[in-house]
Chains A and B, each alone.
Chain A
């Protein structure tokens, strides 16, 4: 027992919160299987959660990096909507090709990153205010580009959207007894690549370490010879670029442009990061945790909808309740740990 306690004490904040997140996710999924029946045992149910949330995973990765550096970016939802609409208009009205639309998405993301990063890092303006204006701007621009929601019918794009990647050995039998392969969409592959890449960046590169250092204590980071401004700038650049990629993945999943797309995505991304153990004060967090944060959040949504509760009401309330529980757990655990270290 004392050994476990010692280990608990020796854990870094990041790993401690990560462990809590992963444990809670598995408990929740097992609970879902027990109370909601076998639907959750099917691999495809899990893959559907991934398919629907690939974009959110990518957005949350970017959000985590900014939050680890001690900032915040609430413009990602707006950027996603703007990208969906711009690409949709480009593909359908101008009959453009898919490659260029991807380029548009990336360019919007990078442009956002450059401007917001510059304002936050070099002009020393509150990131919340900057990205708030960014969100306003993106939402407004989306309406200026086009107001009416519509589906994209560009054949090349639809073909890409319909591409299914079969996961071998994970299929299941449907009600007619026919074997159906389990599949994921392209977005999931992109999301997993992003998660792995960002995990490596944070863990093994100099840049990743300086993100943690700047978020943990700006003054100390400065004295260690880290270029604080450049680090902050890069964190925003990465976040917005990932928002560009995530926006395109979202677009690929829904296949339409609408002003109301990705409403509240920024809040979901922040919530996922927090559930995943990232702290808004900076310096603590992990991409793997964020990944599980998204999964926990969407599993809850799935449980709520499969329990037959009225979606629109209950999703909001359950997510909020979950966020509340996680925040309190985090705060209590950290406080206890701090006091035990002091002793």
Chain B
């Protein structure tokens, strides 16, 4: 897809530099949301220490909820950013893939017994299997995109349509429930640690991806392929492999997110688990100011974007918006954010500001 790029005109001064920085967009959105909450209801910022049902001391409060629930979104945003940058498209099957990975996890843990008293295999082994399955599905998507040159959104439409059916099929359409309290640690709290575990998992993922981007050429190659596939091939890269690799990495992210999601419930609901999470993940990437048409990316901006999306969700829940009506409000906010960050809109605005400034100068002179 070739786009007519309208580069923002260079603006001088500190404000201009700040505006041009990509990370500015999600942070500005976050500050706006925080400011809004501060004005309307400061109890948003209250964090209390209480005991949960197991008698462990845990932190609670809206900010903690955001960190907790935003974790799997942040993990997905990592993979989605890479896929977006390399292929210029998005994977819309992550929700369905989470259902598949979660279903696999439960199947390995429970076997054919849906109400096991003891787990059949250690969680670690089950997680490895779950990773392999999720990566295999990622590889399937990647192969369609990279080898058969199908547009990513269309290629992943296949898994999007079939994923939840496959997930149900893996467990014979039964809903296993795990009663082992240790399994709930991954999506809840480890006794003695008041911070929710998913946040630690997310932090671990962020550290891993930071190290990978720092010490390998993955980031550079991904961007090169995204910006111009043919010229990166002429420079000795293998665009097919790199595109495919990003989808496999996304598969790994999906597996981690699935572990958290399934652990939260200690069970699974095939049609509801991770519903619409693909939309949130794509929004996180878009809010991070990354071009959805591929090319350059900023991982930090995406991850912050994920938490901003979650903050928006939590804020809306706080104002007693019913969960079914939530999308309508979210849509309005998203449109406003996207319009503000649109280059055309920003150009027009800065043009207006310049005109105003000129008029003022004239008045002074």
B-binding residues in A (CB < 8 A): 70, 72, 119, 122-126, 128-130, 132-137, 139-141, 143-144, 147, 217-219, 222, 228, 259, 264, 267, 270-271, 274, 279-282, 312-317, 319-321, 323-324, 327-328, 330-332, 335
Contact = CB atoms under 8 A, between A and B. Distances in A.
Nearest to A143: B324
Interface of B: 1-4, 6, 90, 144, 148-151, 153-155, 157-162, 164-166, 168-169, 173, 279, 282-283, 286, 292-293, 322, 324-332, 334-335, 338-339, 342-345
B146 to A, nearest CB: 11
B275 to A, nearest CB: 11
11 contacts: A126-B286, A129-B292, A133-B330, A133-B334, A137-B331, A267-B160, A279-B151, A280-B154, A317-B162, A323-B161, A327-B144
B162 A119 contact: no
Nearest to A126: B292
A313 B170 CA distance: 11
A145 B148 CA distance: 44
A74 to B, nearest CB: 9
A287 to B, nearest CB: 19
A140 B158 contact: no
Given A140-B327, A280-B153, A124 B342 contact: yes
Given A124-B6, A132-B282, A335-B149, A316 B329 contact: no
A128 B1 CA distance: 13
B328 A319 contact: no
Given A125-B342, A313-B173, A136 B161 contact: no
Most A CB within 10 A of own CB, among B4, B153, B161, B329: B161
A123 B337 CA distance: 13
A195 to B, nearest CB: 23
Contacts of B4: 124, 218-219, 222, 228
7 tightest A-B contacts by CB? A140-B328, A320-B162, A136-B327, A137-B331, A136-B331, A316-B165, A140-B327
B149 A331 contact: yes
A279 B286 CA distance: 24
User: Interface majority SS on B: helix, strand, loop or mixed?
Assistant: helix
Given A129-B292, A140-B329, A327-B144, A312 B150 contact: no
B339 A143 contact: no
B327 A324 contact: no
Contact of A125 (B165, B168, B339): B339
A312 to B, nearest CB: 7
A315 to B, nearest CB: 8
B6 A139 contact: no
A327 B155 CA distance: 8
A280 B169 CA distance: 31
Contact of A141 (B2, B161, B282, B328): B328
Contact of B150 (A219, A320, A327): A327
Contacts of A70: 1
A130 B344 CA distance: 15
B2 A217 contact: yes
A327 B154 contact: yes
A313 B286 contact: no
Given A129-B292, A320-B158, A136 B330 contact: yes
Contacts of B345: 123
Contacts of B1: 70, 281-282
A279 B166 CA distance: 27
B177 to A, nearest CB: 21
B30 to A, nearest CB: 19
Given A128-B292, A331-B149, 20 more contacts: A72-B153, A124-B4, A126-B286, A126-B292, A128-B90, A133-B338, A134-B331, A136-B334, A140-B325, A140-B329, A140-B331, A217-B2, A222-B4, A267-B161, A274-B154, A279-B151, A282-B1, A313-B169, A316-B162, A327-B144
B156 to A, nearest CB: 11
Nearest to B271: A312
B161 A218 contact: no
B328 A136 contact: yes
Given A130-B338, A140-B326, A312 B154 contact: no
Given A119-B335, A136-B330, A129 B286 contact: yes
A317 B322 contact: no
Contacts of A218: 2-4
Contact of B331 (A133, A217, A270): A133
A327 B158 contact: yes
Nearest to A313: B165
